[in-house]
Amino acid sequence: MSNKFAWIMSPKASWDDKKELITTALESGIDYVLDTEDSENIRKVGNFKIISDEEDADIYLVGIDGEGDGTLELNDNLNESADLAKATEAKKDGKTVCAYIVIDLRQSC
């Protein structure tokens, strides 16, 4: 049994524009879709697992609109991390959790 899987991140677009990409992904063997807006529609297209920050997601996502994508500043004290707090709470609820992290090499440390 493998813990690896392939997924696509649906673009920020209208449902009609996303549907074609998601249908092609299903036909190509992709079975996970990262989307924060159209989970209900995606489930109607096919047997996908949904990666999202929505409560009914198959894999709960933290980091979008948080420290992971740079919307919130990452504090030096990780105990104060909003993303880490969300991930910890979701894990306590028995959810599988993943993190969305943008690595921007243009910024200096």
Tokens of 75: 């504090």
Cα(74)–Cα(47) distance, integer angstroms: 36
Residues 46, 6 share a domain: yes
pTM for the whole structure: 0.81
Tokens of 84: 């880490």
Residues 43, 59 share a domain: no
Residues 45, 63 share a domain: no
> Is it the case that residue 4 has pLDDT exceeding 80?
no
In a domain, 109, yes or no: no
Residues 6+ positions from 48 with CB-CB distance below 8 Å: 22, 26, 30, 31, 32, 33, 42
Choose one of 33, 50, 67: the last residue of a domain.
Answer: 50
Domain that holds residue 60: 53-102
Number of domains in the chain: 2
Average pLDDT over residues 88-98: 95
Cα(20)–Cα(13) distance, integer angstroms: 11
Contact indicator for 63, 86 with CB cutoff of 8 Å: no
In a domain, 107, yes or no: no
